[in-house]
Structure 1
Amino acid sequence: MTTTGLFLLAILALGFLITFQIAKASEYVSVLKGEKKSFEQNNKINGFLMVVFLVLGLIGVWYCNKALYPKTLMPHPSASDHGENIDTMLKITLLITGIVFLLTQILLFWFAYKYQYSEKRRAFYYPHNNKLEVLWTTVPAITLCLLVGFGLYYWFKITGEAPSNAMQVEITGRQFGWIYRYPGKDNTFGKKYFRMIDEAEGNLLGMLWKDSTMDTPNGVQSLKADATGYDDIIQTTAMYLVVDKPVKLIINSRDVIHDVGLPHFRMKMDAVPGTPTTMWFTPKYTTKKMKEITGNPNFEYEIACDQMCGNGHYSMKGLIKVVDEQEYKFWLASQKPAYTPAVTAAPAPAAQPAHADTTAKDHAGAIVPKGVLAAKR
């Protein structure tokens, strides 16, 4: 055990010893003064401490809110249209729960002081009241149902069908970074297959850039090249979005469960292997404008992984650049498709000697049997 560990252990042991000795001393004092008198004195002290704890606790809540609120995202507006609704719902929830918190805590500690033990007062036995039971059961239930209802309404809007003019961007999580894909001039994403992922050849997503065959537990699998993917743009540096234009994110994962967290847009969505998820929103402010709003010249929109995904989870961050239409077109024109024929072309088959066994040739040219798997997106 380290020196620090031993030191902490010694502090805990000392604290336990001090608490034990105080308890024993209090017990001895009770015996000397008499149980009844000691009980009344301790009861008054505890009642007074309840009021002190209430006052100091409320001051602490106010101080923490004043000190920490500027460090949260709430002082700055949401950067998306859906995020505005999320902020409104959060404020309503905090208002309702805050009022309930203050009322219950004030009543709890004040009653502990006001109704402390006294010989002049006898406890009133009040076992049941149907009206009160209905009141404090139905009111919270209705309130929570309304809050949940609004949450579901906004959730279905976020995950529902995006507007017809929305741009589409695919974002794929991998340990520990993000891959962004944009459709080319045909505005269509090319097909991909996870078994075709080959970072050495620059195929980060398993794009079907060439005809391939492979052995699988279900037989030989034939994969046909998909020309619609030849113009797809794949990036790992930053995701570019257009201000005031809806964007639909198609979210995937290459390995484990990740989560696309967009704190400034007040949105998030799980990235699940083999199960694409979607969400859409409309960015409201460019990155440049948000630097002015926040007063931070180094501000950048961030993509955070909100799901523990491994040892490098802390470093899985991405950038979003929100720009105007003209700047986006200029950036898009400067990008080159990820498809490179020279890299992805299949190598020429090696020449066979005249006396070579024909079985190898027959196997290479065999017709794929029925039942092969069709290439999927």
Structure 2
Amino acid sequence: MSGFLAVLVVVLIFIVIFQIAKASEYVSILKGEKKAREQSNRINGFLLIAFLVLGLIGVYWCNDLLKGKILGESASVQGEGVDNLIYVTLIITGVVFVLTQIALFWFAFKYQEKEGKEAFYFPHNNKLEIIWTVIPAIALTILVAFGLKHWFQLTSEAPKDAMVVEITGKQFNWIYRYPGKDGQLGRREFSKIDPAKGNELGVDWTDPLSKDDFIPTEMHLVVGKPVKMIIGSRDVIHDVGLPHFRMKMDAVPGIPTTLWVTPKFTTKEMKEKTGNPDFTYEISCDQMCGSGHYSMRGVIVVETQEEFDKWVTSQKSAYDLANPAPAAPEAPKADTTQKTVAANIK
């Protein structure tokens, strides 16, 4: 009996709640809240259209204002292709963005609540599924194909006349090594690394090729001449970032990576182009590598062949710096005592 009463109480509670809800709905209709809601929807619909128009104008204005002013023109021949790929990607995604935003806000305006109009239930459409799956897939495949084309070009074998520079990352700076007159870098061994003895890279001094290699404090490149960069790391993973050249490559411990690039403008020309007398090409680390990651910055000087040759002649080989020649013994001083005594006797 008590169970029946409990069920009856629950049923009565639901009936009371239902009746209160219905009464509230009737009161709302009598007070005109439905019309107020419809009017609010119309206002929101017009505001959405205004937001769409102003938003698209803002996007166009920002693009026109900032285009070409963040990094400027690519300073390498290969970077031109990277820039073109970025522009194509922005055009495709920009068109999709504009069309989808117009559709989104227009639908919110057009299909707002109206008297006597019911929502249409649209569960599935094979044609639409194929369209919005196949078209993006084809577009992305084309973009990936162009990206791979540039990637394979940058990581392919450099031209035979390319100069060679080795870049090694360590916490938290870059070490550069150039071959000497023989044009070949000497052998390196990790076990031979000894900064205390001036051998930060572990160069094998017994290798004849290493005798004329030199290690400067900044990288120098020749304008218009391809350069092959042999990239590595002495400790953790770093990343050689060349923003002005539109290049980057991971520096991985034990696994040398390479890329090659051809500078277009000297540092002096870039100072004139940018209007910045303090402009410098830089190497940034684009991989979080520790607490000093923010300070891992290198400098690149792009110059003419004559200026580069003059700079090279001013460099001393790393072998000579790490293995200075012993000082020559002083010549014995002549003993003039006997001569002085003999002169005094006379």
- Quick check: TM above 0.5? yes
**1:176-187 equivalence runs, <5 A:** 176-187=172-183
Q: Which residue of 2 aligns with 1:277?
A: 257
Q: Secondary structure at the match of 1:178?
A: strand
Q: Which residue of 1 aligns with 2:119?
A: 123
Q: Would you say 1:290 and 2:288 are equivalent positions?
A: no
Q: Alpha-carbon deviation of 1:345?
A: 8.6
Q: Alpha-carbon deviation of 1:38?
A: 4.5
**1:1-377 equivalence runs, <5 A:** 33=31, 36-69=34-67, 71-73=69-71, 76-209=72-205, 225-236=206-217, 238-340=218-320, 343=323
Distance 1:121 1:234 in 2: 78
Q: Alpha-carbon deviation of 1:248?
A: 0.4
Worse overlay, 273-282 or 193-202: 193-202
Distance 2:103 2:125 in 1: 19
Q: Alpha-carbon deviation of 1:273?
A: 0.8
Alpha carbon RMSD of aligned pairs, Å?
Answer: 2.3
Aligned partner of 1:143: which letter? A
Distance 2:31 2:231 in 1: 72
Q: Secondary structure at the match of 1:339?
A: helix
Distance 1:118 1:188 in 2: 79
Q: Secondary structure at the match of 1:234?
A: coil
Quickly say closer, same or farther: Cα 1:231–1:110, change in 2 above 3 A.
same
C-alpha distance after superposition, 1:282-322 (max 9, x if no partner):
11111111122222222111111111111111111111111
Distance 2:241 2:322 in 1: 37
Aligned partner of 1:206: which letter? G
Aligned partner of 2:132: which letter? W
Contact 1:201 1:344 in 2 (8 A): no
Q: Alpha-carbon deviation of 1:59?
A: 3.4
Quickly say closer, same or farther: Cα 1:200–1:124, change in 2 above 3 A.
same
Worse overlay, 188-197 or 80-89: 188-197
Distance 1:315 1:69 in 2: 28
C-alpha distance after superposition, 1:195-231 (max 9, x if no partner):
222222211111122xxxxxxxxxxxxxxx2222111
Gaps of 5+ in 2: 1-26, 327-346
What TM-score, normalized to structure 1? 0.74
Quickly say closer, same or farther: Cα 1:341–1:156, change in 2 above 3 A.
closer
Q: Alpha-carbon deviation of 1:31?
A: 10
Q: Alpha-carbon deviation of 1:123?
A: 3.1
Q: Secondary structure at the match of 2:153?
A: helix
C-alpha distance after superposition, 1:32-53 (max 9, x if no partner):
9465345324323332332232
Q: Which residue of 2 aligns with 1:21?
A: none
C-alpha distance after superposition, 1:258-297 (max 9, x if no partner):
1000001000000011111000011111111112222222
Distance 2:131 2:61 in 1: 34
Q: Alpha-carbon deviation of 1:125?
A: 3.7
Q: Alpha-carbon deviation of 1:124?
A: 3.4
Quickly say closer, same or farther: Cα 1:67–1:31, change in 2 above 3 A.
farther
Contact 1:30 1:38 in 2 (8 A): no
Gaps of 5+ in 1: 1-28, 210-224, 347-377
C-alpha distance after superposition, 1:93-123 (max 9, x if no partner):
0011111101110110111011101014333
Identity %: 64
Aligned partner of 2:105: which letter? F
Q: Secondary structure at the match of 1:164?
A: coil
Contact 2:198 2:322 in 1 (8 A): no
Distance 1:183 1:304 in 2: 23
Aligned partner of 2:104: which letter? L
Worse overlay, 291-300 or 161-170: 291-300
C-alpha distance after superposition, 1:118-138 (max 9, x if no partner):
014333344433333222221
Quickly say closer, same or farther: Cα 1:321–1:32, change in 2 above 3 A.
farther
Worse overlay, 62-71 or 148-157: 62-71
Q: Secondary structure at the match of 2:169?
A: strand
Distance 2:324 2:135 in 1: 65
Worse overlay, 30-39 or 173-182: 30-39
Distance 1:158 1:308 in 2: 23
What TM-score, normalized to structure 2? 0.81
Contact 2:199 2:322 in 1 (8 A): no
Which has more radius of gyration? 2
